[in-house]
Amino acid sequence: MEETVFFLLVSLVGLVAGFFDSLVGGGGLLSVPSLVILGIPPPMAIATERFGSIGQAIAATIKFWKAKKIVWKYVPALCILSLIGSVLGAMILLEIDGKILGSIMGILMLILLPVVFIKKDLGVKHQKTNRKKTAIGYLIFFLIAIFAGFYGQGTGPMVFYTLIFFLGLTMLESIGTSVVGWLLLTISSSLIFAFNSLINYKIGIILFISMSIGSYVGASTAVRKGDLWIKRLFVVLVVIMSVKLLFFNSP
């Protein structure tokens, strides 16, 4: 494959992954396997995609901040949990098979999906919460952050589930609030990947730029369309992501 064609394909992957990551998460389900198909070893594909995701997270944070969709009172705790979880997760990248946990993630997403239908206002209007529910939400978020630190695929929807169910946020608020922690997670885990020489920087820079563009467009689309539209798209993509994790679960 010619180098020009290769980098164009990488750019396209970054644009599409960044777009969907800022809408409903799960862009890694496309980007990581695509990088592997293009000839990048799985651990390096995960690490390089994570480096590119820094651009995606920065662009999304800027857009959701401007749109006032970030609930800042939850941000400090989520950032701390993201930082600790990402470091733990990145350190075990080469020590554990993420496919098994990916399959578990797919099953959980499908099990939780009916709740979205049963509660029509869930993700569209604020829900009541309390200290106990918030504490449970933080614990689940921390476990997801560990998983995201070394694997990452399919974690976006699980984060949104958690923030909607336990913190009572709307779809847009859950996306906007979680992206700040995701920015910290991508930076911290990328540093560990870099220390272990897992990042292909030439490809990573292309992903950084293309995912930034795709992310900003995706975040702008999310803000323009609103919570109900995002919730409907979320349902469709959760089914697709779950099938991918359960039956086509390779990096």
Give the whole-angstrom CA distance, residue 22 versus residue 214.
8
CB 192 within 8 A of CB 51: no
Give the phi and the psi of residue 152 in degrees, each rounded to 5.
90, -30
Alpha helices in the chain (DSSP H): 3-23, 28-37, 42-66, 75-91, 98-118, 131-150, 155-167, 171-195, 201-225, 227-247
pLDDT on residue 150: 63
Could you give the CA distance from residue 165 to residue 192 in angstroms, rounded to a whole number? 32
| Rg, C-alpha atoms of the chain | 17
Nearest of 143, 241, 145, 251 to residue 198 by alpha carbon: 251
The pLDDT value recorded for residue 145 is 83
The amino acid occupying position 116 is V
* Gap between the terminal Cα atoms of the chain: 21
Distance CA 186, CA 83 (A): 9
Provide the 10 A C-beta neighbour count for residue 199.
Answer: 21
pLDDT at 121: 66
Residues in the chain where the model's pLDDT stays below 70: 1, 26, 90-124, 149-154, 241, 244-251
- Residue 34's contacts (CB-CB under 8 Å, 6 or more residues apart) are 9, 13, 17
